[in-house]
Structure 1
Amino acid sequence: MRHEVKILEPTDLWYLQNNINKETNKYYHPTKDIPFVQQVEIKLENSGVVIQKGSLHRCVGKLNYGVYKTDSRLKDIWISLTTEVDYNAPVYKGTGMVYLEPQQKGYFLHYTSIDLSEQEQWEFDDGIFQFCSDNVVIGTKRLKFRQMSGSTDGRWRIAIRALSGQEAKVITGTIAPTKVIELKRGETLIADYDMVKGFTNGIEEDYRKLGHFGKGGGEGFVWIYSGEGKILVSETDGMNLG
Protein backbone atom coordinates (compact mmCIF):
# COMPACT_ATOMS: atom_id res chain seq x y z
CA MET A 1 0.00 0.00 0.00
CA ARG A 2 1.36 3.38 -1.08
CA HIS A 3 -0.33 6.76 -0.94
CA GLU A 4 0.13 10.21 -2.46
CA VAL A 5 -1.44 13.51 -1.44
CA LYS A 6 -2.28 15.74 -4.40
CA ILE A 7 -3.46 19.34 -4.65
CA LEU A 8 -5.91 19.80 -7.53
CA GLU A 9 -6.55 23.24 -9.02
CA PRO A 10 -9.36 24.54 -11.28
CA THR A 11 -9.31 23.96 -15.02
CA ASP A 12 -8.16 26.57 -17.53
CA LEU A 13 -11.82 27.03 -18.51
CA TRP A 14 -12.71 27.94 -14.92
CA TYR A 15 -10.04 30.67 -14.90
CA LEU A 16 -11.36 31.97 -18.23
CA GLN A 17 -15.01 31.95 -17.15
CA ASN A 18 -14.16 33.82 -13.96
CA ASN A 19 -11.95 36.34 -15.79
CA ILE A 20 -8.87 35.45 -13.74
CA ASN A 21 -5.34 35.51 -15.15
CA LYS A 22 -3.97 32.08 -14.27
CA GLU A 23 -0.33 33.13 -14.61
CA THR A 24 -0.50 36.05 -12.17
CA ASN A 25 -3.37 35.02 -9.87
CA LYS A 26 -3.00 31.24 -9.63
CA TYR A 27 -2.86 31.12 -5.84
CA TYR A 28 -4.59 34.34 -4.83
CA HIS A 29 -7.10 36.80 -6.22
CA PRO A 30 -8.08 39.94 -4.27
CA THR A 31 -11.84 39.55 -4.90
CA LYS A 32 -12.51 35.92 -5.87
CA ASP A 33 -11.78 32.70 -4.04
CA ILE A 34 -9.81 30.25 -6.18
CA PRO A 35 -10.93 26.70 -5.26
CA PHE A 36 -8.17 24.20 -4.60
CA VAL A 37 -8.84 20.70 -3.26
CA GLN A 38 -6.63 18.13 -1.56
CA GLN A 39 -7.09 14.46 -2.44
CA VAL A 40 -5.39 11.29 -1.24
CA GLU A 41 -4.62 8.57 -3.80
CA ILE A 42 -3.90 5.06 -2.49
CA LYS A 43 -2.13 2.57 -4.75
CA LEU A 44 -2.68 -1.11 -4.02
CA GLU A 45 -0.57 -3.92 -5.44
CA ASN A 46 -1.98 -7.23 -4.22
CA SER A 47 -2.62 -5.54 -0.88
CA GLY A 48 -5.47 -3.99 1.06
CA VAL A 49 -6.49 -0.79 2.82
CA VAL A 50 -8.95 -0.01 5.63
CA ILE A 51 -10.52 3.44 5.28
CA GLN A 52 -13.01 5.50 7.24
CA LYS A 53 -16.64 4.78 6.44
CA GLY A 54 -17.90 7.38 3.98
CA SER A 55 -14.44 8.59 2.94
CA LEU A 56 -14.35 6.86 -0.47
CA HIS A 57 -14.54 9.08 -3.57
CA ARG A 58 -13.90 6.42 -6.21
CA CYS A 59 -11.76 3.38 -6.96
CA VAL A 60 -10.61 1.57 -10.11
CA GLY A 61 -8.77 -1.67 -10.78
CA LYS A 62 -9.02 -5.34 -9.90
CA LEU A 63 -10.35 -4.70 -6.42
CA ASN A 64 -12.55 -6.60 -4.01
CA TYR A 65 -14.70 -4.84 -1.42
CA GLY A 66 -15.22 -6.05 2.14
CA VAL A 67 -15.54 -4.82 5.72
CA TYR A 68 -13.04 -4.86 8.56
CA LYS A 69 -13.67 -7.66 11.02
CA THR A 70 -11.95 -8.73 14.20
CA ASP A 71 -12.42 -12.11 15.83
CA SER A 72 -15.54 -10.80 17.57
CA ARG A 73 -18.57 -8.91 16.26
CA LEU A 74 -19.18 -7.48 19.74
CA LYS A 75 -15.64 -6.12 19.70
CA ASP A 76 -16.28 -4.46 16.32
CA ILE A 77 -19.43 -2.79 17.64
CA TRP A 78 -17.58 -1.68 20.78
CA ILE A 79 -14.79 -0.10 18.70
CA SER A 80 -17.35 1.80 16.62
CA LEU A 81 -19.14 3.07 19.73
CA THR A 82 -16.03 4.24 21.55
CA THR A 83 -13.81 5.62 18.73
CA GLU A 84 -14.14 7.43 15.41
CA VAL A 85 -13.77 4.15 13.47
CA ASP A 86 -17.25 3.22 12.24
CA TYR A 87 -18.76 -0.24 12.49
CA ASN A 88 -18.04 -2.25 9.32
CA ALA A 89 -15.22 0.02 8.13
CA PRO A 90 -14.64 -0.53 4.37
CA VAL A 91 -11.72 -2.67 3.18
CA TYR A 92 -10.48 -2.68 -0.43
CA LYS A 93 -8.15 -5.46 -1.58
CA GLY A 94 -6.39 -6.26 -4.83
CA THR A 95 -4.54 -4.16 -7.40
CA GLY A 96 -5.71 -0.69 -8.35
CA MET A 97 -6.28 2.86 -7.11
CA VAL A 98 -8.49 4.10 -4.28
CA TYR A 99 -9.29 7.82 -4.11
CA LEU A 100 -10.57 9.42 -0.91
CA GLU A 101 -13.04 12.28 -0.64
CA PRO A 102 -11.32 15.59 -1.48
CA GLN A 103 -10.74 18.21 1.21
CA GLN A 104 -11.72 21.76 0.34
CA LYS A 105 -9.29 24.65 0.76
CA GLY A 106 -9.23 25.68 4.39
CA TYR A 107 -9.62 22.08 5.55
CA PHE A 108 -6.37 20.60 4.24
CA LEU A 109 -4.67 18.00 6.44
CA HIS A 110 -1.05 17.05 7.06
CA TYR A 111 -0.61 13.31 6.56
CA THR A 112 1.96 11.21 8.43
CA SER A 113 2.85 7.62 7.56
CA ILE A 114 3.73 5.35 10.49
CA ASP A 115 5.10 1.81 10.26
CA LEU A 116 3.46 -0.74 12.56
CA SER A 117 4.82 -3.95 13.99
CA GLU A 118 3.33 -6.58 16.25
CA GLN A 119 5.68 -5.51 19.06
CA GLU A 120 4.57 -1.86 18.89
CA GLN A 121 0.95 -1.02 19.54
CA TRP A 122 0.13 2.59 18.68
CA GLU A 123 -2.51 4.55 20.56
CA PHE A 124 -3.95 7.56 18.68
CA ASP A 125 -6.06 10.55 19.60
CA ASP A 126 -9.62 10.36 18.35
CA GLY A 127 -10.11 11.85 14.90
CA ILE A 128 -6.61 11.63 13.43
CA PHE A 129 -6.78 8.06 12.03
CA GLN A 130 -7.32 8.22 8.24
CA PHE A 131 -6.56 4.77 6.80
CA CYS A 132 -4.25 1.78 7.24
CA SER A 133 -3.18 -1.44 5.58
CA ASP A 134 -5.53 -4.36 6.11
CA ASN A 135 -3.08 -6.56 8.06
CA VAL A 136 -3.80 -4.89 11.41
CA VAL A 137 -5.67 -5.46 14.65
CA ILE A 138 -7.81 -2.48 15.70
CA GLY A 139 -8.86 -2.08 19.31
CA THR A 140 -9.51 0.55 21.96
CA LYS A 141 -7.72 1.99 24.98
CA ARG A 142 -9.59 3.47 27.93
CA LEU A 143 -8.46 6.85 29.26
CA LYS A 144 -8.08 7.78 32.90
CA PHE A 145 -10.28 10.52 34.28
CA ARG A 146 -7.43 13.07 34.34
CA GLN A 147 -6.61 12.31 30.70
CA MET A 148 -10.26 12.77 29.75
CA SER A 149 -10.44 16.16 31.47
CA GLY A 150 -7.44 17.46 29.53
CA SER A 151 -8.49 16.36 26.04
CA THR A 152 -11.49 16.05 23.74
CA ASP A 153 -10.98 12.34 23.11
CA GLY A 154 -13.79 11.14 25.37
CA ARG A 155 -13.20 7.95 27.35
CA TRP A 156 -11.56 5.87 24.62
CA ARG A 157 -8.84 6.05 22.00
CA ILE A 158 -8.11 3.83 19.03
CA ALA A 159 -5.25 1.31 19.37
CA ILE A 160 -3.64 -0.38 16.34
CA ARG A 161 -0.94 -2.99 15.86
CA ALA A 162 0.17 -5.24 13.02
CA LEU A 163 -0.85 -8.87 12.72
CA SER A 164 1.61 -11.42 14.08
CA GLY A 165 4.76 -11.64 11.98
CA GLN A 166 3.75 -8.83 9.60
CA GLU A 167 4.63 -5.21 8.93
CA ALA A 168 1.73 -2.80 8.53
CA LYS A 169 1.23 0.92 7.93
CA VAL A 170 -1.18 3.54 9.28
CA ILE A 171 -1.73 7.07 7.97
CA THR A 172 -2.78 9.89 10.30
CA GLY A 173 -4.18 13.29 9.37
CA THR A 174 -3.79 16.42 11.51
CA ILE A 175 -4.36 20.15 11.08
CA ALA A 176 -0.69 20.84 11.85
CA PRO A 177 2.44 18.92 10.77
CA THR A 178 3.51 15.97 12.92
CA LYS A 179 6.60 13.83 13.25
CA VAL A 180 7.62 10.70 15.14
CA ILE A 181 10.23 11.10 17.87
CA GLU A 182 11.74 8.44 20.14
CA LEU A 183 11.68 8.82 23.89
CA LYS A 184 14.57 7.00 25.53
CA ARG A 185 14.66 5.47 28.98
CA GLY A 186 14.99 8.16 31.65
CA GLU A 187 13.72 10.96 29.36
CA THR A 188 10.49 12.89 29.94
CA LEU A 189 8.36 15.02 27.63
CA ILE A 190 6.32 17.81 29.26
CA ALA A 191 3.95 19.99 27.24
CA ASP A 192 1.48 22.70 28.25
CA TYR A 193 -0.87 21.75 25.39
CA ASP A 194 -2.06 18.67 23.51
CA MET A 195 1.22 18.25 21.65
CA VAL A 196 1.22 14.45 21.50
CA LYS A 197 -1.22 12.83 19.04
CA GLY A 198 -0.18 9.21 19.53
CA PHE A 199 2.38 6.94 21.19
CA THR A 200 3.46 3.32 21.45
CA ASN A 201 3.15 0.89 24.31
CA GLY A 202 5.94 1.54 26.77
CA ILE A 203 5.02 5.22 27.01
CA GLU A 204 3.15 6.40 30.11
CA GLU A 205 0.85 9.41 29.72
CA ASP A 206 -0.32 11.60 32.59
CA TYR A 207 -2.17 14.90 32.89
CA ARG A 208 -1.43 16.56 36.18
CA LYS A 209 -0.67 19.84 37.86
CA LEU A 210 2.89 21.05 38.43
CA GLY A 211 3.16 22.02 42.06
CA HIS A 212 0.42 22.81 44.55
CA PHE A 213 -1.26 25.96 45.83
CA GLY A 214 0.31 28.17 43.19
CA LYS A 215 3.81 26.73 43.59
CA GLY A 216 5.76 24.79 41.02
CA GLY A 217 6.38 27.27 38.21
CA GLY A 218 2.86 28.50 37.60
CA GLU A 219 2.24 26.21 34.61
CA GLY A 220 -0.87 24.59 36.04
CA PHE A 221 -1.94 21.32 34.41
CA VAL A 222 0.46 19.85 31.84
CA TRP A 223 0.84 16.67 29.78
CA ILE A 224 3.68 14.43 30.94
CA TYR A 225 5.10 11.49 28.97
CA SER A 226 7.71 9.09 30.29
CA GLY A 227 9.01 5.61 29.57
CA GLU A 228 10.57 4.23 26.41
CA GLY A 229 8.99 4.22 22.96
CA LYS A 230 7.85 6.36 20.04
CA ILE A 231 5.66 9.46 20.15
CA LEU A 232 3.76 11.28 17.40
CA VAL A 233 4.08 15.01 18.15
CA SER A 234 2.69 18.18 16.61
CA GLU A 235 5.00 20.96 17.72
CA THR A 236 3.19 23.80 15.90
CA ASP A 237 -0.36 22.83 16.93
CA GLY A 238 -2.28 25.96 17.90
CA MET A 239 0.16 28.38 16.23
CA ASN A 240 -2.07 28.83 13.14
CA LEU A 241 0.88 28.20 10.83
CA GLY A 242 -0.98 25.68 8.64
Structure 2
Amino acid sequence: MQHAVKILEPTDLWYLQNNINKETNKYYHPTKNIPFVQQVEISLENSGTIIQKGALHRCVGKLTYGVYKTDNRLRDMWVALRTEIEYNAPVYQGTGMVYLEPRPKGHFLHYTSVEISDREQWEFDDGVFQFCSDNVVMGAKRLKFRQIAGSGDGKWRLALRALSGQIAQVVTGTTAPARIIELRRGEVLIADYDMVKGYTNGIEEDYRKLGHFGRGGGEGFIWMYGGEGKLLVTETDGMGLG
Protein backbone atom coordinates (compact mmCIF):
# COMPACT_ATOMS: atom_id res chain seq x y z
CA MET A 1 0.00 0.00 0.00
CA GLN A 2 1.34 3.40 -1.04
CA HIS A 3 -0.32 6.80 -0.89
CA ALA A 4 0.09 10.29 -2.27
CA VAL A 5 -1.46 13.60 -1.20
CA LYS A 6 -2.47 15.76 -4.16
CA ILE A 7 -3.52 19.42 -4.25
CA LEU A 8 -6.04 19.94 -7.05
CA GLU A 9 -6.77 23.35 -8.53
CA PRO A 10 -9.58 24.64 -10.77
CA THR A 11 -9.50 24.12 -14.53
CA ASP A 12 -8.30 26.78 -16.96
CA LEU A 13 -11.94 27.29 -17.98
CA TRP A 14 -12.86 28.11 -14.37
CA TYR A 15 -10.19 30.83 -14.25
CA LEU A 16 -11.46 32.22 -17.56
CA GLN A 17 -15.13 32.19 -16.52
CA ASN A 18 -14.29 33.97 -13.27
CA ASN A 19 -12.08 36.53 -15.02
CA ILE A 20 -8.98 35.58 -12.99
CA ASN A 21 -5.46 35.69 -14.39
CA LYS A 22 -4.10 32.22 -13.57
CA GLU A 23 -0.46 33.27 -13.85
CA THR A 24 -0.65 36.17 -11.38
CA ASN A 25 -3.53 35.14 -9.09
CA LYS A 26 -3.17 31.35 -8.93
CA TYR A 27 -2.90 31.17 -5.14
CA TYR A 28 -4.67 34.34 -4.06
CA HIS A 29 -7.26 36.74 -5.39
CA PRO A 30 -8.30 39.83 -3.42
CA THR A 31 -12.05 39.37 -4.00
CA LYS A 32 -12.67 35.74 -5.02
CA ASN A 33 -11.99 32.45 -3.25
CA ILE A 34 -10.01 30.08 -5.50
CA PRO A 35 -11.26 26.56 -4.63
CA PHE A 36 -8.20 24.37 -4.14
CA VAL A 37 -8.88 20.90 -2.71
CA GLN A 38 -6.68 18.22 -1.11
CA GLN A 39 -7.16 14.56 -2.04
CA VAL A 40 -5.43 11.38 -0.90
CA GLU A 41 -4.71 8.67 -3.48
CA ILE A 42 -4.02 5.13 -2.23
CA SER A 43 -2.23 2.79 -4.61
CA LEU A 44 -2.76 -0.96 -4.06
CA GLU A 45 -0.63 -3.71 -5.60
CA ASN A 46 -1.98 -7.06 -4.48
CA SER A 47 -2.62 -5.49 -1.08
CA GLY A 48 -5.44 -3.93 0.90
CA THR A 49 -6.46 -0.87 2.86
CA ILE A 50 -8.95 -0.06 5.63
CA ILE A 51 -10.42 3.44 5.52
CA GLN A 52 -12.85 5.42 7.62
CA LYS A 53 -16.48 4.74 6.82
CA GLY A 54 -17.74 7.43 4.44
CA ALA A 55 -14.22 8.48 3.38
CA LEU A 56 -14.36 6.94 -0.11
CA HIS A 57 -14.64 9.23 -3.13
CA ARG A 58 -14.04 6.65 -5.88
CA CYS A 59 -11.89 3.63 -6.72
CA VAL A 60 -10.80 1.90 -9.92
CA GLY A 61 -8.95 -1.30 -10.74
CA LYS A 62 -9.14 -5.00 -10.02
CA LEU A 63 -10.45 -4.47 -6.51
CA THR A 64 -12.75 -6.34 -4.18
CA TYR A 65 -14.80 -4.70 -1.45
CA GLY A 66 -15.16 -6.15 2.02
CA VAL A 67 -15.84 -5.21 5.62
CA TYR A 68 -13.20 -5.05 8.36
CA LYS A 69 -13.50 -7.80 10.91
CA THR A 70 -11.26 -9.86 13.15
CA ASP A 71 -11.78 -13.21 14.82
CA ASN A 72 -13.62 -11.37 17.60
CA ARG A 73 -16.75 -9.62 16.31
CA LEU A 74 -17.69 -8.33 19.75
CA ARG A 75 -14.37 -6.51 19.94
CA ASP A 76 -15.01 -4.97 16.53
CA MET A 77 -18.39 -3.66 17.69
CA TRP A 78 -16.85 -2.38 20.93
CA VAL A 79 -14.30 -0.37 18.94
CA ALA A 80 -17.09 1.05 16.79
CA LEU A 81 -19.11 2.14 19.81
CA ARG A 82 -16.19 3.81 21.56
CA THR A 83 -14.24 5.50 18.74
CA GLU A 84 -14.82 7.06 15.33
CA ILE A 85 -13.84 3.75 13.68
CA GLU A 86 -16.84 1.78 12.44
CA TYR A 87 -16.84 -1.98 12.95
CA ASN A 88 -18.08 -2.16 9.36
CA ALA A 89 -15.26 0.02 8.05
CA PRO A 90 -14.71 -0.66 4.34
CA VAL A 91 -11.76 -2.76 3.16
CA TYR A 92 -10.51 -2.59 -0.43
CA GLN A 93 -8.16 -5.33 -1.67
CA GLY A 94 -6.46 -6.13 -4.95
CA THR A 95 -4.69 -3.93 -7.49
CA GLY A 96 -5.87 -0.42 -8.29
CA MET A 97 -6.41 3.08 -6.94
CA VAL A 98 -8.59 4.26 -4.06
CA TYR A 99 -9.37 7.98 -3.81
CA LEU A 100 -10.58 9.53 -0.55
CA GLU A 101 -13.05 12.39 -0.25
CA PRO A 102 -11.40 15.71 -1.19
CA ARG A 103 -10.96 18.28 1.56
CA PRO A 104 -11.66 21.95 0.73
CA LYS A 105 -9.18 24.73 1.33
CA GLY A 106 -9.11 25.63 5.01
CA HIS A 107 -9.56 22.01 6.07
CA PHE A 108 -6.33 20.48 4.78
CA LEU A 109 -4.55 17.90 6.91
CA HIS A 110 -0.90 16.92 7.36
CA TYR A 111 -0.53 13.19 6.73
CA THR A 112 2.08 11.07 8.51
CA SER A 113 2.88 7.42 7.74
CA VAL A 114 3.60 5.20 10.76
CA GLU A 115 4.99 1.66 10.57
CA ILE A 116 3.64 -0.74 13.19
CA SER A 117 5.11 -4.13 14.05
CA ASP A 118 3.47 -7.00 15.90
CA ARG A 119 5.69 -6.26 18.92
CA GLU A 120 4.38 -2.74 19.54
CA GLN A 121 0.90 -1.33 19.89
CA TRP A 122 0.13 2.25 18.92
CA GLU A 123 -2.61 4.31 20.53
CA PHE A 124 -3.98 7.29 18.58
CA ASP A 125 -6.24 10.14 19.60
CA ASP A 126 -9.72 9.69 18.22
CA GLY A 127 -9.99 11.30 14.79
CA VAL A 128 -6.25 11.10 14.01
CA PHE A 129 -6.48 7.75 12.18
CA GLN A 130 -7.21 8.10 8.45
CA PHE A 131 -6.48 4.72 6.84
CA CYS A 132 -4.15 1.73 7.15
CA SER A 133 -3.09 -1.52 5.53
CA ASP A 134 -5.42 -4.46 6.04
CA ASN A 135 -3.04 -6.55 8.20
CA VAL A 136 -3.95 -4.94 11.55
CA VAL A 137 -5.96 -5.70 14.67
CA MET A 138 -7.96 -2.77 16.04
CA GLY A 139 -8.91 -2.17 19.64
CA ALA A 140 -9.93 0.63 21.99
CA LYS A 141 -8.40 1.89 25.23
CA ARG A 142 -10.21 3.97 27.83
CA LEU A 143 -8.62 7.24 28.99
CA LYS A 144 -8.33 8.36 32.58
CA PHE A 145 -10.62 11.19 33.72
CA ARG A 146 -7.77 13.71 33.81
CA GLN A 147 -6.74 12.77 30.25
CA ILE A 148 -10.31 13.21 29.04
CA ALA A 149 -10.50 16.67 30.62
CA GLY A 150 -7.19 17.77 29.12
CA SER A 151 -7.47 16.53 25.54
CA GLY A 152 -11.10 16.92 24.51
CA ASP A 153 -10.71 13.78 22.37
CA GLY A 154 -13.43 11.77 24.04
CA LYS A 155 -13.17 8.83 26.43
CA TRP A 156 -11.38 6.35 24.18
CA ARG A 157 -8.33 5.98 21.99
CA LEU A 158 -7.92 3.71 19.00
CA ALA A 159 -5.31 0.96 19.53
CA LEU A 160 -3.61 -0.70 16.55
CA ARG A 161 -1.24 -3.65 16.27
CA ALA A 162 0.02 -5.54 13.22
CA LEU A 163 -0.86 -9.18 12.71
CA SER A 164 1.67 -11.69 14.03
CA GLY A 165 4.95 -11.61 12.11
CA GLN A 166 3.91 -8.70 9.87
CA ILE A 167 4.56 -4.98 9.48
CA ALA A 168 1.52 -2.72 9.07
CA GLN A 169 1.30 0.84 7.80
CA VAL A 170 -1.00 3.44 9.35
CA VAL A 171 -1.53 6.95 7.98
CA THR A 172 -2.62 9.67 10.39
CA GLY A 173 -4.01 13.13 9.71
CA THR A 174 -3.36 16.16 11.93
CA THR A 175 -4.01 19.88 11.61
CA ALA A 176 -0.31 20.62 12.26
CA PRO A 177 2.78 18.82 10.89
CA ALA A 178 3.59 15.67 12.87
CA ARG A 179 6.69 13.56 13.32
CA ILE A 180 7.78 10.52 15.31
CA ILE A 181 10.22 10.90 18.19
CA GLU A 182 11.60 8.25 20.52
CA LEU A 183 11.87 8.41 24.28
CA ARG A 184 14.66 6.41 25.89
CA ARG A 185 14.55 5.04 29.39
CA GLY A 186 14.92 7.85 31.93
CA GLU A 187 13.81 10.59 29.53
CA VAL A 188 10.63 12.63 30.07
CA LEU A 189 8.55 14.77 27.72
CA ILE A 190 6.60 17.63 29.35
CA ALA A 191 4.26 19.86 27.33
CA ASP A 192 1.84 22.63 28.22
CA TYR A 193 -0.58 21.54 25.48
CA ASP A 194 -1.80 18.37 23.80
CA MET A 195 1.10 17.95 21.38
CA VAL A 196 1.21 14.12 21.47
CA LYS A 197 -1.33 12.49 19.12
CA GLY A 198 -0.21 8.89 19.55
CA TYR A 199 2.31 6.66 21.29
CA THR A 200 3.40 3.05 21.68
CA ASN A 201 2.52 0.79 24.59
CA GLY A 202 5.88 1.44 26.33
CA ILE A 203 4.90 5.06 27.06
CA GLU A 204 3.14 6.23 30.21
CA GLU A 205 0.95 9.34 29.86
CA ASP A 206 -0.29 11.61 32.61
CA TYR A 207 -2.13 14.91 32.75
CA ARG A 208 -1.53 16.65 36.06
CA LYS A 209 -0.88 19.92 37.82
CA LEU A 210 2.71 21.07 37.88
CA GLY A 211 3.53 21.71 41.52
CA HIS A 212 1.18 22.43 44.41
CA PHE A 213 -0.29 25.53 46.10
CA GLY A 214 0.92 27.88 43.38
CA ARG A 215 4.49 26.55 43.41
CA GLY A 216 4.34 25.05 39.94
CA GLY A 217 6.04 27.77 37.92
CA GLY A 218 2.72 29.22 36.80
CA GLU A 219 2.12 26.46 34.23
CA GLY A 220 -0.94 24.85 35.79
CA PHE A 221 -1.84 21.50 34.24
CA ILE A 222 0.67 19.88 31.90
CA TRP A 223 1.05 16.69 29.85
CA MET A 224 3.83 14.37 30.98
CA TYR A 225 5.20 11.33 29.15
CA GLY A 226 7.72 8.84 30.46
CA GLY A 227 8.85 5.30 29.85
CA GLU A 228 10.41 3.95 26.69
CA GLY A 229 8.90 4.02 23.21
CA LYS A 230 7.78 6.19 20.30
CA LEU A 231 5.48 9.20 20.17
CA LEU A 232 3.68 11.00 17.34
CA VAL A 233 4.01 14.71 18.12
CA THR A 234 2.75 17.95 16.58
CA GLU A 235 5.18 20.49 17.95
CA THR A 236 3.60 23.51 16.20
CA ASP A 237 0.03 22.64 17.17
CA GLY A 238 -1.66 25.72 18.59
CA MET A 239 0.75 28.18 16.92
CA GLY A 240 -1.51 28.81 13.94
CA LEU A 241 1.20 27.67 11.51
CA GLY A 242 -0.60 24.59 10.18
User: Fold conserved (TM > 0.5)?
Assistant: yes
Distance 1:14 1:115 in 2: 40
Match of 1:42 in 2: 42
Is 1:59 equivalent to 2:59 in the alignment? yes
State the 1:216 CA deviation: 2.1
**Which letter maps to 1:128?**
V
**Which letter maps to 2:179?**
K
Residues 69 and 87 of structure 2 are in contact (CA less than 8 Å); yes or no, is this contact kept in structure 1? Answer: no
Distance 2:18 2:33 in 1: 10
Is 1:212 equivalent to 2:186 in the alignment? no
Distance 1:216 1:32 in 2: 49
Match of 2:165 in 1: 165
1:184-203 correspondence runs (5 A): 184-203=184-203
Among all aligned residue pairs of Structure 1 and Structure 2, give the percentage whose two residues are the same amino acid: 79
Match of 1:70 in 2: 70
Match of 2:120 in 1: 120
Distance 1:41 1:182 in 2: 29
Residues 203-234 of structure 1, C-alpha deviations (whole Å, 9 max, x = no match): 00000111111012111110000000000000
Match of 2:30 in 1: 30
Residues 168-196 of structure 1, C-alpha deviations (whole Å, 9 max, x = no match): 10000000000000001100000000010
Is 1:82 equivalent to 2:82 in the alignment? yes
Gaps of 5+ in 1: none
1:141-152 correspondence runs (5 A): 141-152=141-152
State the 1:87 CA deviation: 2.4
Q: Secondary structure at the match of 1:6?
A: strand
RMSD: 0.6
Q: Secondary structure at the match of 1:211?
A: coil
Match of 2:3 in 1: 3
Distance 1:153 1:216 in 2: 26
Q: Secondary structure at the match of 1:185?
A: coil
Match of 1:106 in 2: 106
Match of 1:238 in 2: 238
**Which letter maps to 1:135?**
N
How many corresponding residue pairs?
Answer: 242
Match of 1:13 in 2: 13
Runs of 4+ residues deviating >2 angstroms? none
Q: Secondary structure at the match of 1:150?
A: helix
Residues 61-109 of structure 1, C-alpha deviations (whole Å, 9 max, x = no match): 0000001002122111110110110120000000000000000000000
**Which letter maps to 1:107?**
H
Q: TM-score scaled to structure 2, two decimals?
A: 0.99
Q: Secondary structure at the match of 2:25?
A: coil
